[in-house]
Amino acid sequence: MTDVVFYFQVHQPFRLRRYTFFDIAVEDRYFDDSENKRILQRVAERCYLPMNKLILELIEKHKGEFRVSYSLSGTVLDQMELWAPEALESFQTLAATGYAEILGETSHHSLSSLTDLSEFEGQITTHADRIETLFGKRPTTFRNTELVIDEKIASLVERLGFTALLGEGADHLLGWRNAHHVYRPEGCTKLDLLLRDYPRADDIAFRYSNKTWDQWPLTAEKFARWIHEAGPEDAFVGLFMDYETFGEHQWKETGIFDFFAGIPAAVLAQKRFRFRTPADVAAEHEAVGRLAIPRPVSWADAERDVSAWLGNPMQRAANEALYAIHPQVLELAAAGDKRLLEHWRRLSTSDHLYYMCTKHFSDGEVHKYFSPYASPHDAFIAFMNVLDDLDRRVKQATTSVRAHPEKQS
């Protein structure tokens, strides 16, 4: 049997408000609540609610033969609890069927795995606790922010008890190997690595509504034929993508919902194929070999590395400045002041660095589409203004705590 694995990333960042130099040391409202609420409710209306309804119908129609998986970042969970509780309830309804696996993530969709493994571990554990509370089951599959993986990350994920890890089937990572097999990262003894089939996943996520694409229009039957081209020795086909593909990036008017509705029947028409979750694949298939991942690999841009977030001097300077105040923020949190830690962690969300990317050509257009700023430099200035204010408040609070340790709670 060859398993088809649909995995959807569900994420919204806390975008910054227009925070200027003149706000520093005056105003600590960093995040644009009205804009974040507007976007979250729009995406819930266009994507989360109708797509969850469709997937629930498909699960019921195919009597469990259709299965999916999700990771929901802590920031999108926060926003749904605040502004779209019905959307969160619809994810809980899907999880309750037993045919929608909820994966582990970092609590704040951060790149802490590249800078501070202790913070990374803390965010993983925090998020796993929250998923267990909200969905009634602790996650066993882990999906790092932007599918970033390397051997250190894999080893830590295995140590924390996860049995499966998702990654990108990048050409430079696989070499002659096939993305349709289960692998074991070097340095791990039990962890299974499932990789994304990026050509097939991107046919839906990026090319579906592109009328200049030589395969347009894409139908469920045509897509299923491509899936059926997988060899009998292939364990699975990993179709990993942003959930906002449906209804938000690809509008309802493109036919994306009708297209997706036809996929289960078209794929299942070939008896060798079935739908499974990442946990199912990890439990039912053995790793065919070890895979060395000496440098970080992600699912972003043509390079499939971390240059989308740390590729230019602005991004690296912003990241270094953010993590420079991390020890003091943790000290304050231990003393009872967790508000500054929450601010810091919202700033650690990868989107803030992504907005500063200066790439051009096709990748640059993707970055521009997602950014709320006029330019990468504007994104850098806004972020650094906020960080400057946070740094001042952290220093002031730290001085107070150290001067009056008896007041720590």
pLDDT of 322-344, one tens digit each?
999 999 999 999 998 899 999 99
pTM more than 0.85 = yes
Asked whether residue 381 is assigned to any structural domain, the reply reads: yes
What is the rounded distance in angstroms from the CA atom of residue 144 to the CA atom of residue 8?
13
Verify that 262 and 369 share a domain, yes or no: no
Q: Does the structure show a pLDDT above 50 at 137?
A: yes
Q: Does the structure show a pLDDT above 70 at 171?
A: yes
Q: Does the structure show a pLDDT above 80 at 94?
A: yes
Asked whether residue 196 is assigned to any structural domain, the reply reads: yes
The residues that are catalytic are 146
Residue 361 confidence (pLDDT) = 41
Beta carbons of 98 and 104 less than 8 angstroms apart: no
Instruction: Quick: pLDDT tens for 95-127.
Output: 999 999 999 999 999 999 999 999 999 999 999
Residue 370 confidence (pLDDT) = 63
Which of 291, 324, 342 marks a domain boundary? Answer: 291
Verify that 320 and 199 share a domain, yes or no: no
Could you give the angle at the alpha carbon of 138 between the alpha carbons of 132 and 140, nearest 5°? 150
Verify that 27 and 90 share a domain, yes or no: yes
Q: Does the structure show a pLDDT above 50 at 62?
A: yes
What is the rounded distance in angstroms from the CA atom of residue 305 to the CA atom of residue 292?
15
Verify that 90 and 167 share a domain, yes or no: yes
Supply the CATH number for residue 94's domain: 3.20.110.20
Verify that 201 and 331 share a domain, yes or no: no
What is the rounded distance in angstroms from the CA atom of residue 174 to the CA atom of residue 172?
6
Verify that 16 and 121 share a domain, yes or no: yes
Verify that 180 and 41 share a domain, yes or no: yes
Verify that 159 and 80 share a domain, yes or no: yes
Tokens of 389: 């204010």
Tokens of 106: 């970092």
Which of 265, 291, 317 marks a domain boundary? Answer: 291
Verify that 316 and 263 share a domain, yes or no: no
Q: What single-letter amino acid sits at 23?
A: D
Verify that 326 and 276 share a domain, yes or no: no
Asked whether residue 302 is assigned to any structural domain, the reply reads: no
Average pLDDT over residues 289-317: 95
Confidence grade of residue 364 (pLDDT, cut at 50, 70, 90): very low
Q: What is the mean pLDDT of the chain?
A: 94
How many domains does the chain contain in total? 2
What is the rounded distance in angstroms from the CA atom of residue 336 to the CA atom of residue 409?
5
**C-beta neighbour count of 235 within 10 angstroms:** 22
Instruction: Quick: pLDDT tens for 201-252.
Output: 999 999 999 999 999 999 999 999 999 999 999 999 999 999 999 999 999 9
Asked whether residue 301 is assigned to any structural domain, the reply reads: no
Asked whether residue 109 is assigned to any structural domain, the reply reads: yes
Asked whether residue 298 is assigned to any structural domain, the reply reads: no
Q: Which domain holds residue 204?
A: 2-291
Beta carbons of 278 and 141 less than 8 angstroms apart: yes
Verify that 315 and 270 share a domain, yes or no: no
What is the rounded distance in angstroms from the CA atom of residue 394 to the CA atom of residue 376?
27
Asked whether residue 46 is assigned to any structural domain, the reply reads: yes
Asked whether residue 100 is assigned to any structural domain, the reply reads: yes
Which of 259, 291, 323 marks a domain boundary? Answer: 291
Which residue shows structure tokens 């972003």? 300
Verify that 52 and 194 share a domain, yes or no: yes
Confidence grade of residue 352 (pLDDT, cut at 50, 70, 90): very high
